[in-house]
């Protein structure tokens, strides 16, 4: 049996490729007879079982997200920043998106009538 390298079109390392291959091969060998019987009885159930084997073999490939710490003080707003500032900023970006999507001069005019400090 020839082995096709999985890493050709993926970002998997050689170790991840070998791990996937060994997990998949072990699962297929263990369930081969049951799969053939299942496919003969009900093709949809057989396809679902094969997809489940692929998904279980690829569990080791999924990256685990790590918690990132950040400095809470660095992201705090200035003392004078309040809910009204948030509202005006949201309004400004809403009007800007509206103008970019429509390219109508009245939308640009509405954007220019907003206070300049936002």
In the chain, where are the structural domains located? 6-61, 81-118
Give this prediction's pTM.
0.40
Residues of the chain with confidence (pLDDT) below 70:
1-12, 60-75, 115-118
Task: Assess contact for 99 and 111: CB atoms under 8 A.
Answer: yes
Closest by CA to 89, choosing from 114, 108, 68, is 114
């Amino acid at each position: 049996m020839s082995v096709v390298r999985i890493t050709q079109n993926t970002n998997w390392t050689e170790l991840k490729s070998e791990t996937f291959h060994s997990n998949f091969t072990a699962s297929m060998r263990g369930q081969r007879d049951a799969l053939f019987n299942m496919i003969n009885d009900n093709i949809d159930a057989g396809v679902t079982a094969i997809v489940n084997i692929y998904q279980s073999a690829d569990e080791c490939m999924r990256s685990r997200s790590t918690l990132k710490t950040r400095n809470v003080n660095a992201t705090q707003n200035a003392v004078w920043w309040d809910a009204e500032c948030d509202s005006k900023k949201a309004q400004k970006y809403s009007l800007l998106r509206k103008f970019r999507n429509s390219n109508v001069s009245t939308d640009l005019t509405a954007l220019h009538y907003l206070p300049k400090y936002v």
